[in-house]
Amino acid sequence: MSTRRPDVPRNLKPYFLCLLKKGPRWNQTEGNEDLMPKYLAFLRRETEARRYIFAGPVTDDGEIIGTAVLEAENAEEATAFARANPGVESGHFIAELHPCFLPSLDAVKVEY
């Protein structure tokens, strides 16, 4: 019989915290006018597929420009999900992943 610590939530699940940072092409807009629509469509598709639980911008004008919580089987899968981001593919963003435990986000739903 295992003993559970009463001060640790029972409903913790593994996730990946994705920090989006300004990439080497951050300020290069010419020829990339369609990046934002592609990025928003990507987020919707990934959120509806529950690979991205939620995502949002960071608005303090620092190096971190966005965050997301991903659900993946392992770090390799999470990395593949993050690298498929059109902004990461184009070099406008850099995705930094961190494994974490959070209370279950199964009930969190993004509405479009």
pLDDT of amino acid 2: 62
> What domains are there in the chain, each with its CATH number?
12-103 (3.30.70.1060)
pLDDT of amino acid 4: 78
pLDDT in tens, the chain (112 residues): 567 788 888 899 999 999 999 999 999 989 889 999 999 999 999 999 999 999 999 999 999 999 999 999 999 999 999 999 999 999 999 999 999 999 999 999 999 9
Percent of the chain with pLDDT over 70: 98
Burial class (CB in 10 A: 0-12, 13-18, 19+), 29: exposed
Measured CA to CA, the distance from residue 81 to residue 51 in angstroms comes to 7
Measured CA to CA, the distance from residue 112 to residue 48 in angstroms comes to 9
